Chain A
Amino acid sequence: MNTTPFNAWKLVSLSPLSPWALGALAVLLVAGVLLAAIGLRREPDLRRRMVLWALRIGAGIAAAFFLFEPGIRNLQVAHVKNRIAVLVDRSASMSFPAAPGGKSRVAEVADYLDSVSSQLAGLQDRFTIEYYGFDPELAPITPETLRSQPARGPRTDLLSALRSVKSGEQGSASKKLSGVLLFSDGADNAELSSGVVGKSRAVLSDLQVPVTTFVVGSAALKDLAIDQIRVDDFAFVRNSIAVEIEVRGRGFKGLNVPVVLRREGQTVASKSVRLNSDDDVQTVSFNISPDQTGRFVYTASVPVFPEEVVTENNTRSFALKVIRDRVRVLLVVGRPSWDERFLRGLLRQDANVDLVSFYILRTLSSDPQVLSDRELSLIPFPMEEIFDAKLDTFDVVIFQNFGYTDPSLSVASYEKNLERYVFNGGGFLMIGGDHAFGEGRSNFPILGQAMPVEPAGKPASVDAFKPRLTPEGLRHPVTSFSQGAASTEQAWASLPSLPGANLTRAKPGATTLLDHPFQTIDGKTAPVLALWEYGRGRAMALTVDSSWYWAFASSSAGSPSRLYDRFWGNAIRWLVRDPDLTTLTVTADPPSVEPGKPIGVIVAARTPDYQPAAEAEVRVDLFSVKAQRAVATQRTVTSADGMARVEFAPPEPGAYKVFAWANKGEKSLGEGEDSVAVRALGPELSDASIRADIMEEIARLTGARSHPLSMGSLPELHLLDPPMVEVGRSKDEPIWDRWYYLLTLVTLLGTEWLLRRRFGYI
Chain B
Amino acid sequence: MVKRLFGRRAVLGALASLPWLARRAQAFGDSARFIPAVAQHGGRWDGRLSALRRLAWELQRRTSVEVVPDARPFTLSSPKLFEYPFLYLGGEADLPPLSASEIENLRRYLTFGGFMLADANDGSNGTGFDRGFRRELARVLPRNPLGPLPSSHVVFKTYFMLESAAGRLLNKPQLEACNLGRRAAVIYCQNDLAGAWSRDESGDYEFEVSPGGEQQRELAFRLGINICMYALCLDYKDDAVHLPLIMNKRR
Contacts and interface: CB of A to CB of B under 8 A. Distances in A.
A binds B: yes
Interface of A: 334-342, 344-345, 348-349, 356-363, 366-371, 374-379, 382, 401, 433-434, 439, 459-460, 462, 464, 498-500, 502, 545-546, 548-549, 551-558, 560
B28 A433 contact: yes
22 contacts: A335-B65, A336-B65, A345-B234, A360-B64, A361-B63, A366-B64, A369-B3, A377-B161, A433-B28, A433-B32, A434-B24, A460-B27, A462-B28, A499-B29, A500-B29, A546-B31, A548-B31, A551-B112, A551-B113, A552-B114, A556-B79, A556-B105
B61 interface: yes
Interface in B168-188: 181, 183
Contacts of A362: 62-64
B31 A341 contact: no
Contacts of B232: 336-338, 340-341
A366 B24 CA distance: 16
Contacts of B83: 549, 553
Contacts of A344: 233-234, 236
B32 A556 contact: no
Contacts of B245: 377, 379
Contacts of B26: 462
A667 to B, nearest CB: 37
B195 to A, nearest CB: 20
Interface stretch (B127-135, B143-151, B152-160): B152-160
B214 interface: no
Interface of B: 1-3, 5, 24, 26-34, 61-66, 79-83, 85, 105, 108, 112-114, 157-161, 181, 183, 218, 229, 231-237, 239, 241-242, 245-246, 249
Contacts of A459: 27
A361 B64 contact: yes
Nearest to A345: B234
Contact of A375 (B24, B82, B161): B161
Nearest to B183: A345
Given A341-B234, A371-B1, 9 more contacts: A336-B233, A337-B65, A345-B183, A361-B159, A362-B63, A377-B159, A377-B161, A434-B27, A556-B80
B109 to A, nearest CB: 8
Nearest to A558: B108
A377 B160 contact: yes
B63 A368 contact: yes
Contacts, number: 161
A60 to B, nearest CB: 102
Q: Top 5 closest A-B pairs, CB basis?
A: A499-B29, A500-B29, A556-B82, A336-B232, A546-B31
Among A336, A363, A371, A553, the one with the most B-chain Cβ atoms within 10 Å of its Cβ is A336
A392 B2 CA distance: 43
Contact of B61 (A359, A367, A553, A558): A367
Contacts of A368: 62-63, 159-160
A499 B31 contact: yes
A693 B106 CA distance: 82
Contacts of A556: 79-82, 105, 108
B67 to A, nearest CB: 10
Nearest to B5: A369
B64 A335 contact: yes
A452 to B, nearest CB: 21
A382 B245 CA distance: 13
Contacts of A462: 26-29
A541 to B, nearest CB: 16
B102 to A, nearest CB: 14
B166 to A, nearest CB: 14
A560 B160 CA distance: 34
B234 A337 contact: no
A369 to B, nearest CB: 5
A545 B28 contact: yes
Contacts of B159: 361, 368, 376-378
B239 to A, nearest CB: 6
B62 A369 contact: yes
Contact of B236 (A337, A349, A359): A359
Contacts of B32: 337-339, 401, 433-434, 545-546
B83 to A, nearest CB: 6
Contact of B63 (A356, A366, A464, A548): A366
A342 B245 CA distance: 26
Given A345-B183, A377-B246, A359 B233 contact: yes
B196 to A, nearest CB: 15
Contacts of B33: 337
Among B157, B233, B235, the one with the most A-chain Cβ atoms within 10 Å of its Cβ is B233
A555 to B, nearest CB: 4
B84 to A, nearest CB: 9
Contacts of B235: 348
A379 B112 contact: no
A379 B159 CA distance: 10
B75 to A, nearest CB: 13
B112 A552 contact: yes
Contacts of B236: 344, 357, 359
A377 B157 contact: yes
Given A336-B65, A361-B229, A342 B28 contact: no
B96 to A, nearest CB: 23
Nearest to A336: B232
Contacts of B61: 366-367, 369
Among B79, B105, B218, the one with the most A-chain Cβ atoms within 10 Å of its Cβ is B79
Contacts of A433: 28, 32
B234 A367 contact: no
A106 B239 CA distance: 70
A724 to B, nearest CB: 88
Contact of B113 (A345, A357, A367): A345
Nearest to A382: B241
A502 B232 CA distance: 22
Among B5, B29, B30, B183, the one with the most A-chain Cβ atoms within 10 Å of its Cβ is B29
Contacts of A357: 236, 239
A334 B64 CA distance: 8
Contacts of B28: 433-434, 439, 460, 462, 500, 502, 545
Contacts of B114: 552
Given A359-B236, A552-B85, A336 B64 contact: yes
Nearest to A463: B29
Contacts of B161: 374-377
